[in-house]
């Protein structure tokens, strides 16, 4: 299959064959990361801009490393170091990037749809590194990659996603991706943090976390944004942990070989107990490594690499 | 100026007329309605194959002047109204300063007299500064010329203030217009709350944010006997509440906008987060659109009003959350309604005229909206055949913020005559 997309804005618009191609490409590229000399000249001379309107060292570093391993040049623009903070509009920033000749822009933005706005206004490829509550497609791709690698398949698996589903772009992208790849998804959290009419997302929703965990192949725990408590969506962190925190006892409800995942950064002892983070079911560190591989694959495919070029 | 409008199908539900007829106009007045009128010295407007209706009346327009002249002015807004087939608009008071005293109202009326293309009827504030605390001088406002009261955009949160407004305005026979929105429930939402907001990842405004205020105001209207007019209702629940209240005899009327009758929340993501879809109340669901259309047809909803809310491109060419709420509607309202509602079989052309001329005049006490001898010569001539694509660069409004860009519509107004003067179209 050929990959011909200008932008990666969300998983929802993607076909399962496209997802498959990205995961396969990432598989071939991941070996580069484990080499001692981690550079391939594939994207030499190409310019990748990271444009971050929200702080996220984790995601930005992952993209930067991906670009560096492929020998691309990177330019970082973030809210604290540029005109972004001085109130330049996104439209004007887009014009500047266009004038700079950027070939790819990776954007993280607190408002859903900001990457779409940029994509409309730029010839460059735009990659959504998280927009508002909409999507975080590269996170979902690295999660799919990690699950597929461990479980050798995605189809037919039962995935429990636990936490603040309503506000989570990670949950959205994972739901679309997992559903497209044939997995079954159950979401759980306090009813004030579950989306309205969850069935329209193709998932089952329950406020009883035990029900979601029962027989799960993968337990994906979301980061709890503590400001939701201040908005009155749940009474206290203590009570949240009491009902939805994932601990060893609860994890036992899942399959014995169930994977524990978390997009990070985590609140130890809140949404997930500390021993589980470091335990043998946890693949949290694998997620980080795979994140770089998946992002390398996207840079490669978007900047016009042919899938067979890297298998050599 | 003397005019004879010849050969058109004249539709006026106010007088029960629907047939081929000629109209003679002299000095701003219709002096003769009949067949085969001789032109004499008058200028002839050939309306053969066209439909002649009373000039449209928009009861919910934001003209933005004074204070926001880069978004719209009285001159440009009324020019857009004329192009859209409107011969009168009621302008909302959320200008800067707001229209909360007789001096401000006089200023707008004076400006409109000099620069306006069509008649302008100001709406005054309910409360001083639209702060929701103390009533304005409603008597003086009435004397200055307001035809209704509203704190549009800023719902009157305090129920006691709303109760007093309904009670007091009743003495002056002014409708109190409520922008129904519970601001806590609406929060910082930017689109309708539901599956579409979940998928789009934007904060939702639930239907309940509108409906709890509709319910509250209906209860207050029933308790006081005051005249309540609900602005831009947008949900199936609101339609149900109003229908039930009308059945009980509550003095309530309400309006709906063309965009709430034709677009849904799914369009926001489909359009790639086009900020021209951002409006308050937000675009709702298919079920809401169906209920609104049904409410229009069965008389629950009295009026189609544009809530024309022009904005500068700088207010819209930004991220969705940062964009201003509002749709520029005067230029497209009529063809949109002819195409979608009449063309779709939801309303007859006669009913549409009722919703856009007759009922607006009745609810706001305006002596217009009919075609009769001795009446004011406000007429709109529609070409039911003309198909044209919506092109914002052809808008007369300064506000190019339309989500209907590229839609092919029929029923465009070809000539608008206000007080006997051609203000838009051929012969202007
Ligand atoms: Zn309003
Ligand atoms: Zn308004």
> What are the extents of the domains in chain B?
2-51+376-424, 56-363
Q: Which CATH number fits domain B56-363: 1.20.1080.10, 3.20.20.140, 3.30.830.10, 1.20.59.10?
A: 3.20.20.140
Q: Tens digit of pLDDT for each residue in A273-290?
A: 999 999 999 999 999 999
Partner residue opposite A89 with nearest CB, options B202, B203, B318: B318
CB pair distance less than 8 Å for A12 and B199: yes
Class of domain B2-51+376-424: mainly beta
Q: Which of A294-308, B98-112, B116-130 has the lowest mean pLDDT?
A: A294-308
pLDDT of residue A86: 59
pLDDT of residue B57: 98
A85: pLDDT confidence band, cut at 50, 70 and 90? low
- How many angstroms separate the alpha carbon of residue B333 from the centre of ligand 2? 15
A137: pLDDT confidence band, cut at 50, 70 and 90? very high
Cα gap A179→A234, rounded to integer Å = 29
- How many angstroms separate the alpha carbon of residue B153 from the centre of ligand 2? 6
Question: Which residues on B lie below 8 Å from A135 (Cβ)?
Answer: 201
Active site includes B307? yes
Q: Tens digit of pLDDT for each residue in A45-67?
A: 899 999 999 988 899 999 999 99
Which among B1, B4, B2, B10 is positioned nearest to B39, based on CA atoms?
B4
Other C-beta atoms closer than 10 Å to the C-beta of A228 total 18
pLDDT of residue A306: 64
Q: Detail the DSSP E strand segments found in chain A.
A: 47-52, 73-78, 104-109, 125-131, 158-162, 184-188, 204-206, 218-221, 259-261
pLDDT of residue A82: 55
pLDDT of residue A196: 85
Which among A221, A235, A234 is positioned nearest to A273, based on CA atoms?
A221
CA angle B44, B48, B51 (to 5 degrees): 105
pLDDT of residue A43: 87
Q: What is the ipTM of this complex?
A: 0.89
Q: Taking residues B132-136, report their average pLDDT.
A: 97
- How many angstroms separate the alpha carbon of residue B294 from the centre of ligand 2? 23
Cα gap B304→A296, rounded to integer Å = 54
Question: CA dist A59 to A66, A136, A272, Å?
Answer: 11, 10, 21
Judged against a pLDDT cut of 50, whether residue B234 lies above it is answered with: yes
Other C-beta atoms closer than 10 Å to the C-beta of A16 total 14
* B71 vs A198, more confident: B71
Catalytic residue among B182, B302, B307, B315: B307
pLDDT of residue A291: 96
Judged against a pLDDT cut of 80, whether residue A309 lies above it is answered with: no
Judged against a pLDDT cut of 50, whether residue B2 lies above it is answered with: yes
List of residues 6+ apart from B406 with CB closer than 8 A: B389, B390
Q: Tens digit of pLDDT for each residue in B161-201?
A: 999 999 999 999 999 999 999 999 999 999 999 999 999 99
From the CA of B327, which ligand is nearest? 2
Question: CA dist B303 to B309, B338, B342, B369, B393, Å?
Answer: 17, 15, 15, 13, 28
CB pair distance less than 8 Å for A113 and B318: no
* B147 vs A227, more confident: B147
User: CB of A171 within 8 Å of any CB in chain B?
Assistant: no
pLDDT of residue B427: 59
Asked, colleague to colleague, whether B2-51+376-424 and B56-363 share their fold, the answer is no
pLDDT of residue A225: 87
Q: Taking residues A264-277, report their average pLDDT.
A: 93
Which among A1, A71, A3 is positioned nearest to A39, based on CA atoms?
A71
pLDDT of residue B399: 98
Q: Tens digit of pLDDT for each residue in A236-264?
A: 999 999 999 999 999 999 999 999 999 98
A101: pLDDT confidence band, cut at 50, 70 and 90? confident
- How many angstroms separate the alpha carbon of residue B96 from the centre of ligand 2? 15
Q: Taking residues B147-165, report their average pLDDT.
A: 97
CB pair distance less than 8 Å for B319 and A113: yes
For chain B, the average pLDDT equals: 97
CB pair distance less than 8 Å for A116 and B272: yes
For chain A, the average pLDDT equals: 92
From first CA to last CA, the distance across chain B in angstroms is 12
Prediction pTM value: 0.93
Judged against a pLDDT cut of 80, whether residue A84 lies above it is answered with: no
Q: How far is A122 from chain B (nearest CA, A)?
A: 14
Q: Taking residues A90-94, report their average pLDDT.
A: 90
pLDDT of residue A81: 55
Q: Tens digit of pLDDT for each residue in B282-324?
A: 999 999 999 999 999 999 999 999 999 999 999 999 999 999 9
Cα gap B348→B358, rounded to integer Å = 14
pLDDT of residue A127: 98
Question: Which residues on A lie below 8 Å from B273 (Cβ)?
Answer: 112-113, 116-117
pLDDT of residue A312: 41
Partner residue opposite B195 with nearest CB, options A111, A114, A197: A197
Q: Tens digit of pLDDT for each residue in A154-203?
A: 999 999 999 999 999 999 999 999 999 999 999 999 999 999 888 889 99
């Amino acid at each position: 299959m050929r990959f011909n997309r200008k932008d990666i804005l969300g998983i929802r618009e993607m076909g399962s064959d496209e997802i498959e191609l990205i995961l396969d490409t990432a598989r071939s590229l991941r070996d580069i990361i484990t080499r001692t000399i981690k550079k391939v000249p594939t994207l030499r001379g190409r310019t990748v801009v990271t444009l971050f309107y929200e702080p996220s060292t984790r995601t930005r570093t992952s993209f930067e490393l991906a670009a560096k391993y492929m020998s691309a040049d990177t330019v970082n623009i973030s809210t604290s170091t540029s005109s972004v903070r001085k109130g330049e509009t996104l439209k004007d920033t887009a014009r500047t990037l266009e004038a700079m000749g950027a070939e790819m822009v990776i954007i993280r933005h607190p408002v859903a749809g900001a990457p779409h706005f940029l994509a409309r206004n730029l010839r460059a490829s735009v990659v959504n590194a998280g927009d508002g509550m909409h999507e975080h497609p590269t996170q979902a791709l690295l999660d799919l990659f990690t699950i597929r690698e461990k479980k050798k398949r995605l189809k037919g698996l039962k995935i429990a996603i636990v936490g603040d589903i309503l506000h989570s772009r990670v949950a959205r992208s994972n739901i679309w991706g997992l559903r497209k790849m044939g997995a079954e998804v159950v979401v759980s959290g306090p009813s004030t943090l579950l989306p309205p009419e969850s069935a329209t997302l193709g998932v089952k929703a329950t406020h009883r976390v035990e029900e979601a965990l029962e027989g799960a192949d993968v337990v994906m725990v979301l980061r709890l944004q503590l400001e939701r408590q201040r908005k009155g969506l749940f009474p206290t962190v203590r009570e949240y942990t009491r009902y939805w925190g994932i601990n060893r006892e609860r994890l036992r409800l899942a399959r014995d070989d169930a994977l524990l995942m978390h997009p990070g950064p985590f609140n130890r002892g809140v949404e997930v107990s500390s021993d589980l983070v470091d335990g043998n079911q946890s693949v949290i560190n694998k997620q980080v490594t795979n994140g770089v591989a998946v992002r390398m694959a996207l840079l490669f495919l978007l900047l016009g690499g042919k899938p067979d070029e890297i298998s050599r | 100026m003397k005019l004879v409008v010849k050969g058109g199908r004249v539709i006026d539900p106010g007088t029960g007329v629907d047939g081929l007829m000629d109209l003679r106009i002299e000095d701003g007045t219709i002096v003769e309605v009949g067949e085969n009128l001789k032109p004499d010295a008058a200028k002839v407007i050939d309306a053969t194959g066209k439909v002649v209706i009373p000039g449209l009346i928009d009861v919910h327009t934001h003209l933005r002047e004074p204070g926001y002249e880069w978004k719209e002015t009285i001159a440009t807004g009324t020019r857009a109204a004329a192009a859209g087939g409107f011969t009168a608009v009621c302008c909302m008071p959320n200008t800067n300063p707001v229209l909360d005293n007789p001096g401000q109202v006089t200023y707008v009326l004076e400006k409109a007299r000099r620069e306006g293309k069509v008649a302008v009827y100001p709406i005054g504030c309910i409360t001083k500064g639209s702060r929701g605390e103390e009533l304005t001088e409603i008597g003086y406002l009435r004397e200055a010329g307001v035809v209704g009261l509203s704190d549009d955009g800023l719902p009157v949160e305090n129920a006691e203030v709303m109760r007093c407004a309904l009670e007091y305005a009743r003495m002056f026979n002014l409708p109190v217009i409520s922008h129904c929105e519970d601001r806590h429930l609406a929060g910082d939402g930017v689109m309708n709350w539901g599956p579409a907001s979940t998928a789009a990842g934007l904060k939702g405004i639930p239907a309940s944010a509108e409906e709890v205020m509709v319910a509250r105001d209906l209860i207050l209207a029933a308790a006081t006997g005051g005249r309540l007019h609900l602005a831009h209702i947008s949900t199936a629940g609101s339609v149900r509440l109003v229908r039930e209240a009308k059945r009980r005899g509550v003095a309530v009327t309400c309006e709906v906008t063309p965009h709430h009758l034709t677009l849904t929340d799914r369009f926001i993501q489909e359009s790639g987060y086009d900020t021209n879809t951002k409006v308050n109340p937000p675009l709702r669901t298919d079920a809401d659109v169906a209920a609104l259309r049904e409410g229009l047809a069965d008389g629950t909803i009295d009026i189609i009003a544009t809530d024309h809310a022009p904005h500068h491109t700088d207010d819209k060419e930004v991220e969705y959350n940062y964009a201003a709420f509002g749709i520029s509607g005067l230029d497209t309202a009529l063809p949109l309604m002819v195409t979608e509602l009449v063309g779709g079989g939801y309303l007859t052309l006669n009913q549409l005229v009722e919703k856009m001329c007759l009922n607006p005049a009745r609810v706001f006490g305006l002596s217009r909206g009919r075609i009769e001898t001795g009446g004011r010569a406000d007429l709109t001539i529609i070409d039911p055949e003309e198909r044209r694509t919506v092109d914002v660069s052809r808008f007369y409004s300064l506000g190019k913020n339309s989500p209907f860009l590229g839609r092919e519509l029929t029923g465009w107004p070809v000539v608008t005559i206000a007080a006997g003067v051609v203000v838009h179209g051929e012969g202007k």
